[in-house]
Homo-oligomer: A and B are copies of this chain.
Amino acid sequence: MSSIRARDREETKQLLIDAVGAVIEADGFGSVGVNKVAKAAGVDKALIYRYFGGFAQLLQAYGDQTDFWWTVEDILGDDLPDALPNAGGDNLAAWLSLIFERHVEFLRNHPVTLEIIAWEMSERNELTIALEYVREQRSLDLMKQLLARFGQTDRLDMVHFGPVMALLGAAGNYLAARGRHVQNFNGLDLKSDRGWQQLFHAVETMLLGLVQEKS
């Protein structure tokens, strides 16, 4: 029981920062607060104010230390688009399908990110605005890279490229976040890999059809 930690400011700061993530993952973003975080860190809440200046700055520090969102490299992998010669014509559709899959897998492996997505639906403040700005930029980055490779040559009607990305991103976010607590959505099983495979398959088929539709 002699949990007498040595007095160490930096270690205590890190304990607090880590506690933020732990509380979010355990109880969601909505119930994160100065009392709960301090208790989770095993530290007095007064230190939050002394070391960080306030709870908002602690959250800020947590955000700065954590990557909540994929980078373009995460999504495109080592096989950058130009590694695949742009021959087939439906390459972009295949890529979009793969991107959707990786997007969803990223979310399913990052519970804190799912909490943030859920939280952003009901709350809007400096922190959520900053986080959603990062995501929007990453998404636009990804789209720009895809357009640079496929924009002139692919048969997909580029008028639909943006809306389709939005549709897939929105559906992925919603279903992944919902799958945290709910089993089914519109008959789809969000808690089984099989349900997600069905979704991936349907998306792939739709995208291939979209390409061939190009007038």
Which residues on A are within 8 Å of B, measured CB to CB? 28-30, 117-124, 132, 136, 139-140, 143, 157, 159-160, 162-171, 173-175, 177-178, 181-182, 184-188, 198-199, 201-203, 205-213
Contact = CB atoms under 8 A, between A and B. Distances in A.
A166 B199 contact: yes
Pick the most buried of A118, A165, A174, A175: most chain B CB atoms within 10 A of its CB. Answer: A174
24 contacts: A117-B121, A118-B122, A119-B121, A136-B186, A139-B187, A140-B186, A140-B187, A157-B205, A160-B202, A162-B187, A163-B188, A163-B199, A165-B186, A166-B186, A166-B199, A167-B175, A167-B202, A167-B203, A169-B185, A170-B170, A170-B186, A173-B174, A206-B207, A206-B213
A198 B162 contact: yes
A164 B177 CA distance: 18
Contact of A202 (B117, B164, B169, B171): B164
A30 B122 contact: yes
Identical subunits present = 2
A171 B168 CA distance: 7
Nearest to A123: B30
Chain A facing B: main interface SS: helix
A171 B167 contact: yes
Given A30-B122, A136-B186, A169-B186, 9 more contacts: A28-B122, A121-B178, A140-B187, A143-B187, A159-B198, A160-B206, A166-B186, A171-B171, A212-B212
